[in-house]
Amino acid sequence: MSVKRQSEMASPVDQQNKKKKQVRVWVDGCFDMVHFGHANAIRQAKQMGDYLIVGVHSDEEVAKHKGPPVFTDKERYEMVRAIKWVDEVVEDAPYVTTLETLDKYNCDFCVHGDDITTTADGTDTYHLVKKAGKYKECKRTEGVSTTDLVGRMLLLTRSHHQIEDKEMDKQSVGAIGQLVGSGRSSLMSNRQAPSASSPWTGVSQFLATSKKIIQFSEGKEPKQGDRIVYVAGAFDCFHLGHLEFLKKAHKEGDFLIVGLHTDVVVNRYKGSNYPIMNLNERLLSVLACRYVSEVVIGAPYAVTADLMDHFKVDIVIHGMTPIQPDEDGSDAYAEPKKRDKFKTVNSGTDLTTHTMLERIIAHRLQYEARNKKKEAKEAKIFQAMKEKEVYEVE
């Protein structure tokens, strides 16, 4: 009778246990006006495990606890799905994170930024998972918040859109100044607004570093035989319209390159005080999209022969929006058209940065009130935390 080795005697269950257990991570939030700060939190959470599930709250839940969202829940679901570190999205996730939710999706722990999120009555939305030891923190991305972006839009509308109710405008000036803080794009007006007092809502203008760009970029080169697709634009306040366009453009080839125009160029063809987000911010928002392979930072407005040859572009795609002429009045897409390498695609949505701005204008007072309430709540929580620290030290 032969004697079996120990490994051969191990049961299938024991052998299975020897395999590395998949670490499943839960992240949840409103993800309104999905920006690179959200993407960076998601990126950090994914690094803590193997499989990332993101729960997104419904419009009803967001309105109840924070105020009216700018994006609808359907828009927010799709935007989060397109972030390249996300493996699964759970729609209509509960606002308070519970152990039951983690168990339902077989998640080992929950991750959130190092700021504070509370319900309408001021309760920490993560108190249950914190108490159970199933909570981890990632570093919040300084320099951006949804509150800040809404504030920038409110400032933009006050400066560049005719408002008939002058008295209402006067009443909102002080509030907007407090809300916006110093977080304006590089082309915002020179008028000074007082810095917001909240440690999380009041943010400073974001500047990308080489490390941050590397973290967001996959750094992949096109493979031999890949069909190279090139698109260009502002991609200001990255939204569902941009996403659907990039999704369609990605289907036209194997490797999608996005040319991002500088703030000065965007301001030339869009006017007003656009862009709302500066080049650094727009760069990370585009890089976070799973359909994007590479980004040309500060791409020229005209798609030149040199650009097409350098990147070996097979097809240049543009959306259905009108193409503004170059500075000298020429057609910026003349070269790809001459090569028969130009195509327009319909994103299937009429959402633009301008229509987002119109949403803000239409519900202006509500957003002002939401921002002011959020800032006051955060300042109160922050003060309580500081007092607790002093008490513990003493």
Q: What's the residue count for the chain?
A: 394
Is 267 within a domain? yes
Q: Is the CB of residue 134 less than 8 Å from the CB of residue 109?
A: yes
Task: Please check whether residues 183 and 96 belong to one and the same domain.
Answer: no
Task: Please check whether residues 367 and 337 belong to one and the same domain.
Answer: no
Q: Is the overall model pTM greater than 0.85, yes or no?
A: no
Q: What is the pLDDT of residues 206-249, one digit of tens each?
A: 566 788 888 888 888 999 999 999 999 999 989 999 999 999 99
**Residue 261, pLDDT score:** 97
Within 8 A by CB and 6+ apart from 65, the residues are 95, 118, 119, 120
Q: At what angle do helices 353-362 and 146-160 cross, to 10 degrees?
A: 80
Q: What is the pLDDT of residues 101-143, one digit of tens each?
A: 999 999 999 999 877 777 877 788 999 999 999 999 998 776 5
Residue whose token pair is 């390159």 = 257
- We report the CATH number of the domain holding residue 244 as 3.40.50.620
Question: DSSP letters of 292-326?
Answer: --EEEET--SS--HHHHHHTT-SEEEE-SSPPPP-
Q: At what angle do helices 166-180 and 364-393 cross, to 10 degrees?
A: 30
Task: Please check whether residues 39 and 114 belong to one and the same domain.
Answer: yes
Is 99 within a domain? yes
Task: Please check whether residues 297 and 316 belong to one and the same domain.
Answer: yes
Is 133 within a domain? yes
Is 68 within a domain? yes
Task: Please check whether residues 182 and 271 belong to one and the same domain.
Answer: no
Q: How far apart are CA 394 and CA 82, in angstroms?
A: 48
Is 210 within a domain? no
Report the domain count for the chain. Answer: 3
Q: What is the pLDDT of residues 2-14, one digit of tens each?
A: 444 444 455 555 5
Q: What is the pLDDT of residues 95-109, one digit of tens each?
A: 999 999 999 999 999
Q: What is the pLDDT of residues 18-38, one digit of tens each?
A: 567 999 999 999 998 888 889
Nearest to 370 by CA among 159, 191, 201: 201
Residue whose token pair is 């304006």 = 184
Residue numbers of the domain that contains 176: 146-199+354-380
